[in-house]
């Protein structure tokens, strides 16, 4: 069971996912630590007792360990963020990424361990809880980890699991 989630990024998509989870009382079990540099965004989520907020990964205790990391960041920040986030991975940490254009194979190289990675591609209507999300797990994912990813998106979108990453790219082109 995933009891500690490190959620990095609460911009348009990341914020929409969190808002939908809160609105529909669908937060995954356990605690969520939200990292975002925008203080105004963090203050919106700070009132929830199950969400801790920090502006930087540097603010986490060195002993902090996450069973899941959600990457809701722009791809140009990936290298620095992933390098810092690796220090907080539990021995079997599931990575859920909504970064456009960042393939599973690239994420596997970034994390430098055989981690369960789920690449997800929500579309913009997720912001009004009317979206579609495609998810593609790598070979290291368990059913529990896939279900965790589905739970993150199901309150704001229909979720479709695909097992060929090419469908993520095609889905992005079709649905925007």
Strand partners, 54: 35
Report the length, in residues, of the chain: 176
Displacement of CA 91 from its chain's centroid (Å):
18
Contacts of 68 (CB under 8 A, 6+ apart): 2, 4, 5, 6, 28, 93, 94, 95, 96, 145, 148
H, E, C per residue of 128-173: HCCEEEEEEECCCCCHHHHHHHHHHHHCCEEEEECCCCHHHHHHHH
Reported pTM: 0.95
- Give me the domain span that covers residue 46: 4-175
Model pLDDT, residue 57: 98
Q: What is the mean pLDDT of the chain?
A: 94
CA dist 140 → 7, 31, 95, 104, 155 (Å): 20, 23, 11, 11, 25
**The total number of structural domains that make up the chain:** 1
Rg (CA), the chain: 15
Q: What is the CATH classification number for the domain harbouring 158?
A: 3.40.50.720
At 58-98, the pLDDT tens digits run 999 999 999 999 999 999 999 999 999 999 999 899 999 99
């Amino acid at each position: 069971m995933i009891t500690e989630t490190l959620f990095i990024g609460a911009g348009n998509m990341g914020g929409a996912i969190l808002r939908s989870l809160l609105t529909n009382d669908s937060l995954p079990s356990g605690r969520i630590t939200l990292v975002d540099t925008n203080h105004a965004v963090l203050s919106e989520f700070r009132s929830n007792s199950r969400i801790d907020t920090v502006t930087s990964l540097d603010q986490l205790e060195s002993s902090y360990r996450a069973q899941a990391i959600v990457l809701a960041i722009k791809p140009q920040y990936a290298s620095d963020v992933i390098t810092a986030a690796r220090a907080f991975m539990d021995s079997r940490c599931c990575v859920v990424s909504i970064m456009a254009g960042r393939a599973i194979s690239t994420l596997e190289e970034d994390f430098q361990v055989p981690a369960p990675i789920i690449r997800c591609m929500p579309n913009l209507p997720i912001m009004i809880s009317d979206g579609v999300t495609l998810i593609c797990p790598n070979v290291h994912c368990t059913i529990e980890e896939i279900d965790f990813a589905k739970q993150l998106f199901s309150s704001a979108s229909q979720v479709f699991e695909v097992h060929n990453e090419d469908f993520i790219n095609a889905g992005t082109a079709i649905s925007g």
